[in-house]
């Protein structure tokens, strides 16, 4: 995902997924948010995990929130195939995506950015 041209389809996929996950008639929110990002690449990724964070935040500008400055907390983790192929128990959503739609990125958005810190 080094070139801008290569990033465009990926960013568009994030934007489309966000639009599908949001309720009908959603307007970008102004509240502070937290993001949880789990990356499940199909093979050894080219870039660092922090690169995917910025791209996801930028892709959701104007869709989920007005500006990515509203994101107060980010938790991100990359799971390489060797990490999850050996696990016996995976959450249903993750296991289903690994079977039906690899590679993928799981993104959760919360309006309680300090929730996990307490």
Q: Per the confidence metrics, is the pTM higher than 0.75?
A: yes
Per residue in 15-43, pLDDT tens? 999 999 999 999 999 999 999 998 888 77
Confidence of residue 89 (pLDDT cuts 50, 70, 90): low
Domain extent listing, the chain: 4-15+30-111
What is the dihedral angle through the alpha carbons of 19, 72, 41, 61, rounded to the nearest 10 degrees? 30
Give the position of tokens 């296991």.
Answer: 95
* CA 18 – CA 101 distance, rounded (Å): 16
């Amino acid at each position: 995902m080094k070139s801008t041209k290569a990033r465009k389809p990926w960013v568009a996929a994030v934007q489309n997924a966000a639009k599908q996950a949001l309720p009908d008639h959603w307007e970008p929110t102004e509240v502070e948010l937290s993001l949880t990002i789990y990356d499940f690449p199909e093979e050894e990724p080219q870039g660092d995990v922090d690169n995917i964070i910025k791209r996801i935040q930028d892709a959701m500008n104007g869709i989920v929130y007005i500006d990515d400055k509203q994101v107060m907390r980010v938790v991100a983790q990359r799971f390489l195939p060797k990490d999850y192929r050996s696990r016996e128990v995976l959450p249903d959503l993750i296991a289903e995506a690994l079977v039906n739609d690899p590679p993928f990125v799981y993104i959760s958005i919360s309006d309680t950015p300090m929730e996990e810190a307490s």
